[in-house]
Amino acid sequence: MSIKVISVSKNYSNQKALKEVAFSADKGDVIGFLGPNGAGKSTMMKILTGFIKPNSGEVFVNEIDVLKEPLKAQKTIGYLPEHNPLYADMYVREYLQFQALIFKVDKSQIEICIKKVGLEEEAHKKIHQLSKGYQQRVGLAAAILHNPSVLILDEPTTGLDPNQLVEIRELIKELGKEKTVLFSTHIMQEVEAVCNRVIIIKKGEILIDKKLSELKQNNQQTIEVTFDVKVDEPLFKKLPNVITCKNNDGFTWQITFESKEDMRPKIFDFAQENRLKILELNSKNKNLETLFREVTI
């Protein structure tokens, strides 16, 4: 197991930032750690990387107890903190050499990492001369210098323009091929673009922890249909796989089915059999964005 978090709670004075958080990650996981501002994402990441201690709970990275052996654990973790603190006056290579020294990494790794994050053209410049997107690449290069197997990235795409955003997402995806990645974001589409798993956190509690494919493979579908006359609920019992039906005024109904099959043709047949005319018919299937809004508001 690359990451194992067991019942972690963290309070800042009397404010509860994390409440018995538990999750684990395996090799090959690229996890979107999704939640609104103040949800506890950065706090969880600082605990995972051994920079702050929880009030209770246990944290293991690559089977190493982070609370007992933070330095040993940090050798296997690449961490890009929120706001990516860099030394703006340093040259890119100079900064990476400095980082290599700290991590006792062979200097040969520097050019390898520059190449991995696509910094070749910019590596001769000072950090403050780079765009925000390229500065993020410097942060990523520094995070992977010691070839960690677990990458923890705290809002790596915040503040990037749309092109940079796409590039950094691609880079994270690429890095995810050989590492376990946990990255935080408050953008649902980002999770869809990059991850195979999503953990949704709100007010310090995990609300959803699922494979993206599971979330997408939701077998429920809701169809909104308007008839030309008022319809009574018992009539819908004739339809197969109905879970709920809600009506606004007797004319318009939202019918939720448990079925993989598209139920719209069944509703047409149903209307015909019962001599009803359909005035309008819409599929109201929830996408991930709707789901995220529902669970985080």
| Residue number, 185 or 221, with CB nearest to Mg ion | 185
Q: Which does 74 bind (CB under 5 to 8 A by kind): Mg ion, ligand ADP, none?
A: none
The region that residue 84 occupies, defined by phi over 0 for left and psi between -120 and 50 for alpha, beta otherwise, is left
Give the chain as a 3 state SS string.
CCEEEEEEEEEECCEEEEEEEEEEECCCCEEEEECCCCCCHHHHHHHHCCCCCCCEEEEEECCEECCCCHHHHHCCEEEECCCCCCCCCCEHHHHHHHHHHHCCCCCHHHHHHHHHCCCCCCCCCEHHHCCHHHHHHHHHHHHHCCCCCEEEECCCCCCCCHHHHHHHHHHHHHHHCCCEEEEEECCHHHHHHHCCEEEEEECCEEEEEEEHHHHHCCCEEEEEEEECCCCCHHHHHHCCCEEEEEECCCCEEEEEEECCCCCHHHHHHHHHHCCCCEEEEEECCCCHHHHHHHHHC
Is 180 a binding residue for Mg ion by CB under 5 A? The answer is no
> Least Å distance between CB 156 and Mg ion?
11
Q: Which does 113 bind (CB under 5 to 8 A by kind): Mg ion, ligand ADP, none?
A: none
| Residue number, 155 or 167, with CB nearest to ligand ADP | 155
> Least Å distance between CB 15 and ligand ADP?
6
> Least Å distance between CB 155 and ligand ADP?
7
Beta bridge partners of 205: 202
Is 157 a binding residue for Mg ion by CB under 5 A? The answer is no
Question: How many residues form the binding site for Mg ion (CB under 5 A)?
Answer: 3
> Least Å distance between CB 186 and Mg ion?
9
| Residue number, 42 or 222, with CB nearest to ligand ADP | 42
> Least Å distance between CB 255 and Mg ion?
40
> Least Å distance between CB 34 and Mg ion?
12
> Least Å distance between CB 207 and Mg ion?
17
Is 84 a binding residue for Mg ion by CB under 5 A? The answer is no
For residue 188, which of 36, 28, 30 has the smallest C-alpha distance? 36
Q: Which does 32 bind (CB under 5 to 8 A by kind): Mg ion, ligand ADP, none?
A: none
CA 97 to chain centre: 31
| Residue number, 82 or 122, with CB nearest to ligand ADP | 82
Using CB under 5 A, pick the residue from 3, 10, 42, 164 that binds Mg ion. 42
Chain residues binding ligand ADP by CB under 6 A are 12, 15, 17, 35, 37-43
| Residue number, 33 or 95, with CB nearest to ligand ADP | 33
| Residue number, 38 or 240, with CB nearest to ligand ADP | 38
Name the residue with the smallest CB distance to Mg ion.
42
| Residue number, 79 or 253, with CB nearest to Mg ion | 79
Q: What is d(CA 116, CA 109) in angstroms, rounded to the nearest whole number?
A: 10
Please report, as ranges, the residues that interact with Mg ion according to CB under 5 A.
Answer: 41-42, 82
